[in-house]
Amino acid sequence: MAGPSELSVYSLRLGPGEEIVTSLLKFVEDKQLKAPFVMTCVGSISKATLRLANATASNTNQIIHLNKRFEIVSLVGTLNKVPHLHICLSDEDGHTVGGHVLGDLEVFTTAEIVIGECKSLHFTREMDGSTGFPELIISARSEKA
């Protein structure tokens, strides 16, 4: 645990056909953000690949590929080089599905995203033997970073 930290806020809007994760990672790289996270996101997608809650590092068959229109109800998570994002989507009947974002979040009409950055922190990931996944490491940002 580290903090408190000053906060910077950025916003962007993605258009039809853009892929959200790729766009976010490019934004983070272009802005040289060290501890970025998604504060909020609304919009719609036409495609997504999600890992469901039952998946483990050794059993990843709990992956679903969605190829229809959904409203983005929520998108949250950290955005370092190995992002950790969770999404909740709503279909035309209001039914929801959510999970860990693996990619393919293709924008249908728009994605309005607000990104925060903790100015005195640095996010990285390291493999955790107990979970089998790369887990968040939070450190104080040095003046040189």
Structure tokens at 54: 């039952």
Note the pLDDT tens digit of each residue in 21-60.
999 999 999 999 999 999 999 999 999 999 888 766 666 6
Whether the per-residue pLDDT at 144 is higher than 50: the answer is no
Q: How confident is the model at residue 145 (pLDDT cuts 50, 70, 90)?
A: very low
Backbone torsions φ then ψ of 73, nearest 5 degrees: -85, -35
Structure tokens at 96: 């929801």
Spatial separation of the C-alpha atoms in residues 117 and 34, rounded to whole Å: 7
Structure tokens at 101: 């974002």
pLDDT at res. 5: 85
Rounded to two decimals, what is the model's pTM? 0.88
The CATH architecture one would assign to domain 7-140 is: 2-Layer Sandwich (3.30)
**Mean per-residue pLDDT for 8-29?**
98
Structure tokens at 64: 């679903």
> Within 13 Å, how many C-alpha atoms sit on residue 115's CB side?
26
Note the pLDDT tens digit of each residue in 51-95.
888 766 666 668 899 999 999 999 999 998 889 999 999 999 999
Torsion of CA 100, 105, 108, 112, to 10 degrees: 70
Whether the per-residue pLDDT at 138 is higher than 60: the answer is yes
